[in-house]
């Protein structure tokens, strides 16, 4: 039975004109590929996200989700928006124990709707746009955060070679490669230089923790692992689907862990963090508790994680700032996929400054 999305708050959808998503052409293409696909399917754009646009495909009996590449004008780097990689990793993880939606079809023929896309099942559950989860009882919020932590550790324990993913990414040099990549992204999309970004671009390559770039530490990394990209069970703290795999690759586990822990540093509001809030009053675990739980699940020494934690956090703030600059460029070109693009892109500089403060062992300015 195809499942239905029941988010904690109703997902905002915008009916798309046929010039943006040709429903008739889509139905003609997918009907032979997906059992039960409705030729009268109605496409509704899912609002949210800053990159690959998504639609709900509503049929008379079932629903699906379509993920597509954005228009060519929005693609800043050759490797960006690789929905075929999303499709491949989701398919590979189907029976891995990591909860992912079932994928149905990949279309790389851009003549169908104008861009490449894939279709997956529509999973029943809740998505929390606010990481403080105000919809959840205070004494249950910690359980949701820990459930997310458990799934991340489970992903990092997956035998990626056994799943046929040896060619999914390079086996070594993850941080060296990614620092170079996001530096290029930042330079290509910036409106003006950001001093903190320039400093981080010089500092990060010289401070990669010993062994972090070695092949023996390589795992599948999600690349955008946060509460907003998880689908939870409708009534209990259980992750039923990990979403938005656009940045997935083979990499280092603590990159993912640190990225998922950025909520403890980012301010509430547009950046959807809780670094300026009281964790205890919200019923959320501390960052230290979050790290300790992961260390137990992934069999790492907590002391070693803390020793190199400033690097992993600074790296992710650098990366996030580069991403925000890219969103800003798409907004300026009129090809952004979210109505909040302009507002969120303005955070590139303070995010970079936070990363530089962490690299220097200082407190980010919005905590002062």
3-state secondary structure 158-185: CCCCCCCCCCCCCCCCHHHHHHHHHHHH
Domain boundary among 121, 155, 185: 121
Which pLDDT score, from 0 to 100, does residue 74 have? 46
Q: In whole angstroms, what is the distance from residue 339 CA to residue 330 CA?
A: 11
Contact 265, 354 (CB under 8 A): yes
Domain boundary among 121, 150, 166: 121
Residue 21 lies in a domain: yes
Indicate the SS3 state at residue 64.
strand
The mean per-residue pLDDT over the stretch 13-20 comes to: 41
- pLDDT confidence tier of residue 247, bands split at 50, 70 and 90: very high
User: Are 250 and 146 found together in one domain?
Assistant: yes
Given a cut of 70, whether residue 7 has pLDDT beyond it is no
Which pLDDT score, from 0 to 100, does residue 37 have? 92
Q: Closest Cα partner for 256 from 195, 199, 298?
A: 298
Residue 160 lies in a domain: yes
Which pLDDT score, from 0 to 100, does residue 79 have? 58
Which pLDDT score, from 0 to 100, does residue 366 have? 66
Which pLDDT score, from 0 to 100, does residue 9 have? 40
User: Are 235 and 262 found together in one domain?
Assistant: yes
Given a cut of 70, whether residue 340 has pLDDT beyond it is yes
User: Are 220 and 83 found together in one domain?
Assistant: no
Query: Which of 110-114, 172-176, 214-218, 352-356 has the weakest average pLDDT?
Result: 110-114
Q: Over the chain, what is the mean pLDDT?
A: 88
CATH number at residue 300: 3.90.1200.10
Sheet of strand 103-107, all strands in order from the earlier edge strand to the far edge: 13-15, 42-46, 54-58, 63-68, 117-121, 103-107
Given a cut of 90, whether residue 330 has pLDDT beyond it is no
Residue 276 lies in a domain: yes
Which pLDDT score, from 0 to 100, does residue 147 have? 98
Which pLDDT score, from 0 to 100, does residue 13 have? 41
Residue of 58 and 329 predicted with greater confidence: 58
Query: Which of 93-107, 163-177, 296-310 has the weakest average pLDDT?
Result: 296-310
Residue 132 lies in a domain: no
User: Are 75 and 151 found together in one domain?
Assistant: no
> Domain range holding 238?
138-367
User: Are 37 and 143 found together in one domain?
Assistant: no
Q: How many domains does the chain have?
A: 2
Domain boundary among 121, 148, 174: 121
User: Are 195 and 326 found together in one domain?
Assistant: yes
Report pTM.
Answer: 0.89
- pLDDT confidence tier of residue 346, bands split at 50, 70 and 90: confident
Which pLDDT score, from 0 to 100, does residue 314 have? 98
User: Are 188 and 304 found together in one domain?
Assistant: yes
CATH number at residue 88: 3.30.200.20
Q: In whole angstroms, what is the distance from residue 304 CA to residue 281 CA?
A: 29
Given a cut of 80, whether residue 62 has pLDDT beyond it is yes
Residue of 234 and 13 predicted with greater confidence: 234
User: Are 226 and 346 found together in one domain?
Assistant: yes
């Amino acid at each position: 039975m195809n499942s239905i999305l029941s988010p904690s708050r109703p997902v905002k959808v915008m009916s798309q004109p046929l010039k943006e998503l040709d429903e008739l052409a889509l139905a003609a293409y997918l009907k032979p590929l997906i059992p039960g696909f409705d030729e009268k399917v109605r496409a509704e754009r899912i609002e949210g996200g800053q990159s690959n646009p998504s639609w709900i495909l509503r049929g008379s009996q079932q629903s699906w989700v379509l993920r597509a590449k954005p228009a060519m004008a929005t693609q800043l780097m050759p490797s960006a928006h690789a929905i075929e990689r999303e499709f491949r990793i989701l398919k590979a993880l189907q029976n891995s124990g990591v909860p992912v939606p079932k994928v149905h079809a990949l279309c790389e023929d851009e003549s169908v709707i104008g861009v490449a896309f894939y279709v997956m099942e529509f999973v029943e559950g809740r998505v929390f746009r606010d990481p403080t989860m105000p919809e959840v009882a205070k004494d249950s919020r910690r359980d949701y955060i820990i459930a997310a932590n458990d799934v991340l550790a489970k992903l990092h324990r997956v035998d990626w070679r056994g799943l046929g993913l040896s060619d999914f990414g390079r086996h070594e040099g993850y941080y060296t490669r990614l620092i170079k990549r996001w530096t290029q992204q930042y330079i290509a999309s910036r409106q003006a230089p950001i001093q903190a970004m320039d400093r981080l671009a010089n500092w990060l390559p010289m401070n990669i923790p010993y062994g972090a770039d070695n092949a023996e530490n390589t795992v599948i990394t999600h690349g955008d692992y946060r509460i907003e990209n998880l689908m939870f069970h409708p009534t209990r703290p259980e992750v039923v689907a990990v979403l938005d795999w656009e940045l997935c690759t083979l990499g280092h586990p603590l990159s993912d862990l640190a990225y998922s822990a950025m909520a403890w540093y980012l301010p509430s509001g547009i950046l959807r963090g809780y670094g300026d809030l009281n964790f205890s009053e919200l019923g959320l675990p501390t960052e230290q508790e979050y790290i300790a739980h992961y260390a137990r699940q992934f069999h790492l020494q907590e002391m070693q994680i803390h020793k190199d934690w400033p690097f992993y956090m600074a790296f992710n703030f650098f990366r996030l700032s580069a991403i925000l600059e890219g969103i800003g460029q798409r907004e300026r070109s009129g090809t952004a996929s979210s109505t909040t693009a302009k507002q969120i892109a303005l955070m590139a500089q303070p995010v970079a400054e936070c990363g530089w403060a962490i690299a220097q062992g200082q407190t980010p300015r919005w905590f002062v």
